[in-house]
A and B are shown apart, each in its own frame.
Chain A
Amino acid sequence: MAKTFLEIFITGLLMGGLYALISVGLSLQYGVARILNISHGEFIMLGAMTTWTLYTALRISPLLSLAICGPLALALGYLIHRTLFRRLLTTSASFAVFESNSMLAAFGLMFILQNIALIAWGAEIRGYSYLSIPVHFLGTLFGANRLLTFGIALVIGLAFYLFLNLTRTGKAIRAAAQDPVTAGLMGVHIHRVLALCFGLGAAMAGIAGVLISMCYPVHAAMGLEYTVIAIIVVVLGGLGSIPGSFLGGFVLGLAGSIVTFLEPGLALVAYYIIFILLLLVRPTGLLGR
């Protein structure tokens, strides 16, 4: 019994690490750039599908793909913000209007990215086997790839946290999150910082996609599922809070693995119930401002 409990706990923790990484990106995009990026999962999908292609066609290791997909997603996100969302920001009358408009534009982006991927890759479910060796860990068996992805997710999350808190650019991002107008007056190049945030969020999604492809099957329509999880985690942890996203990720991962153990069909239902109750009772989340 204790062993089963431990297994559920660790499975949940491993899921939670991935959920956290997915959500940190979205949290950055919503918390700083004020864009509820519904197309977030599409960047995950692009990362995953690119990794799959590189691995099966050119035998490029997924670990190397991390270094390819991350910067590519960063550039793509930066570009999208510079062209699309910047224009929206300058034409919208207020932040509330911008939030609605940018959410709708992100819906459009979702359809565009997803269907380009469907045209390019087709709708088949793909997968490859990488490091799926069983490893003894605390008395139970886990795939080496799961443990590796968990480790990478943690390292990236921590590195990002340090980047925000220790560097000058990180300070500019935090200033823009608090008050974009005043930050602009203090000499922060606000459009550049917002575009950077959107790009970093996309990069985080791309990296998460690479990690996901190492453990789970991938396909061109997988994005929305992860977007939804990211939104739930971000609301759970508190919009715009990086530690909150990590906490929320682990809470949701654990909840998922407990419910899956009790009644497998209800895991997603449980996520949505948590989400809806949270919006009703405490919309600012666990660590929200």
Chain B
Amino acid sequence: MKLGKINLRRPWRPGAVFLILALLAALPLYASTYSVILLTDILMFVILALSWALFSAPTGYISLAPAAFFGVGIYTSAILGKQLPFSLVVSLGGLISFCLALLVGALTLRLRGIYFAMFTFGLVELIKHFWLWYEIRFTGTRGRFVVVVPHNTIYLTMFAVFALLLLTTYLIRRSRVGLALRSIGECEEAAAHIGINVNALKTLIFAVSAIFTGAAGSIIATRWTYVDPYIAFNPLYSFMAVLMALFGGLGHPYGPILGAVIFAYLEELLITRFPYYYMLIFGIVLIITVLFLPEGLIGLMGKIRSRVGGHDAVA
């Protein structure tokens, strides 16, 4: 499919997307500080879920590594934030995560299925405990303070990363690379036989997806002002990325975005007053999604629409 080809059935769609993006970009001009902070959080979760889906949705590999890349980004900010300009720190956070993911991917992407999930989970814990030991042993303290950055700058940087991620997702989906990734998900042996360099491609896309997770980490660290290894390398961020993406639906990039927006808002409502109930709901929704919504909300909406409209309107 040619890039930029307009879908004749829904000609309004690109326009709507650009309008929403423009409204989001201009948010600091018209919205309150509270909305800017809330939207920063929501965008962070959207980036986590969408960058997870960038690699895992087409290939079917369940990666529990986002928390590792997220934490690497956070610590990039904590260590270099005072010396270097903010934009450079964020880029570096992405770059270091990219390099780590290249290494991890090259080592482990030959592991199939559940072994890959276990490995990536172990990776997060390994980095966390090693880093904790290192900090206490060599710096004498457990945590670090992160340089403070204005809310609007944080928001706009987060938005820029989100826009880049959206563009990357779109370009990959529309290219031969996206097709190759999907064929790996369908049947890896067959993909190798039709001439796809399976391992190189998996590693590369895994690493590309880590860039955005790392960058999001380095941005949000400046909001948190204090970090320690338990905060930075919290495996919960991996689980959240997976759940949000699954709940929204992996069939289309809008799925993870939708899932992330819903859960990020739910978290905002519940986490301070009822943290345990929030996590309880989280678990229940995860089970319901796995049991009854294998294609997520997007799949459900498609089904409802085709039933109501009488013709297939699945995106």
Contacts and interface: CB of A to CB of B under 8 A. Distances in A.
Interface of A: 36, 84, 87-88, 91, 96, 99-101, 103-105, 107-112, 114-116, 118-119, 228, 231-232, 235, 263, 265-266, 268-269, 272-273, 275-276, 279-280, 283
B291 A105 contact: yes
B60 to A, nearest CB: 8
Chain B at the A interface: SS class: helix
18 contacts: A84-B291, A88-B291, A91-B294, A99-B113, A99-B114, A103-B117, A104-B62, A105-B286, A108-B284, A108-B285, A108-B287, A108-B290, A112-B283, A112-B287, A114-B279, A115-B279, A119-B276, A272-B129
B145 interface: no
Nearest to A266: B133
A88 B290 contact: yes
Contact of A109 (B108, B129, B283): B283
A275 B119 CA distance: 8
B291 A280 contact: no
Contact of A279 (B118, B132, B286, B290): B118
Interface of B: 60, 62, 107-108, 111, 113-115, 117-119, 122-123, 125-126, 129-130, 132-133, 136-137, 239, 242-243, 246, 276-277, 279-280, 282-287, 290-291, 294
A227 to B, nearest CB: 10
Given A103-B117, A105-B290, A266-B133, A111 B122 contact: no
Given A101-B290, A276-B123, A118 B117 contact: no
Given A88-B290, A105-B286, 14 more contacts: A84-B287, A91-B291, A96-B113, A103-B62, A103-B117, A107-B242, A108-B285, A108-B286, A112-B280, A112-B283, A115-B280, A273-B126, A279-B122, A280-B108
B136 A111 contact: no
Nearest to A93: B294
A272 B122 contact: yes
Given A87-B291, A265-B136, A276-B119, A111 B114 contact: no
A183 B202 CA distance: 37
Contacts of B130: 266, 269
A268 B129 contact: yes
A107 B289 CA distance: 12
Given A100-B62, A231-B118, A276-B119, A110 B283 contact: yes
Nearest to B282: A111
A29 to B, nearest CB: 13
B111 A283 contact: yes
Contacts of B118: 36, 231, 235, 279
A265 B284 contact: no
Nearest to A123: B276
A75 B294 CA distance: 28
Nearest to B288: A108
B62 A276 contact: no
B279 A105 contact: no
A2 B113 CA distance: 46
